[in-house]
Amino acid sequence: MKQITKHVIRNDLKRLFTYRICLIGFKRKGFDRIYSHDLGEEAGVTADQVRKDFSVYKMKGNKKGGYIITDLLNAIDEIFKYQNNQYVILVGMGNIGQALVQYKRFILRKMIIVASFDINPSKQSKRFGIPVLPMSMMREIIDKFHVNVAILAVPEISAQDATNKLIDSGIIGILNFAPVILKVPDEVIVSNINLCDELESVIYYTQKVM
């Protein structure tokens, strides 16, 4: 077990995701070229930052002519290896879990929730488009679909237990919604979503402004 749980997603990678969303938007509007300036405005960063990011990943544009959108999208896809669907599982079919399994955009981005798990048998009988299974079936599903990543949406009190079971079953990446710092081995990636913190931050900053 590691002492320091790193769950930091590099900022430039986050920006690449943003760029991709913006680029898809521009493409849909009929553009096939884009200037760093315009992409920056849309993505909420400076043009310098855009060019620097592209420079780091060796994406080339045309002096005076801007960047070709499909080239950029291909390059980004290459960085993130988007050939195949990525299968994930979800644990905890409560309020937030049920919202997530119905989120269409995951599928658009080739991330498929193949099954969800819950200790509560009454959840297991409900229909959400994907099967809701007992915890005992976790390993079987993980092996069958070669799942590496899980979304964790169980109550705080159960989060570490569920994490242990996930790691035991072969999971090496967790998107964690419980406001808890999970103890995991070095090689496991954890990314924490803490909506209270986010909302509180916004409140904090609005009060600074006034």
Partner DNA sequence: CATGTTTTGTGATTTGTTTCACATTAAAAA
Partner DNA sequence: TTTTTAATGTGAAACAAATCACAAAACATG
Q: Contact letters (x/-) for its own copies, 113-152, by CB under 8 A?
A: -----------------------------------xx-x-
Which residue in this structure is represented by tokens 């992409």?
39
* Binding of DNA by 51 (CB under 7 A): yes
Alpha-carbon 168 to chain mean position: 22
Instruction: For residue 136, give the DSSP letter.
Output: G
Contact string 10-49 vs DNA (x = CB under 7 A): xxx----------------------xxx-------xxxxx
3 state SS of 89: strand
Amino acid symbol at 69:
I
Rounded distance between C-alpha atoms, residue 47 and residue 192, angstroms: 30
Q: Is 70 in the site for ligand NAD (CB under 6 A)?
A: no
Stretch that binds ligand NAD, among 48-56, 82-90, 115-123, 140-148 (CB under 6 A): 115-123
For residue 55, what are the contacts with CB-CB under 8 A and spacing of at least 6?
Answer: none
Q: Give CA–CA dist 61/78, Å, rounded.
A: 17
Which residue ranges make up the site for its own copies (CB under 8 A)? Answer: 3-7, 9, 13-14, 17-18, 21-22, 40-46, 80-81, 86, 88, 95-96, 98-100, 102-103, 105-106, 109, 111, 148-149, 151, 172-175, 179-181, 187, 189, 191, 193-207, 209-210
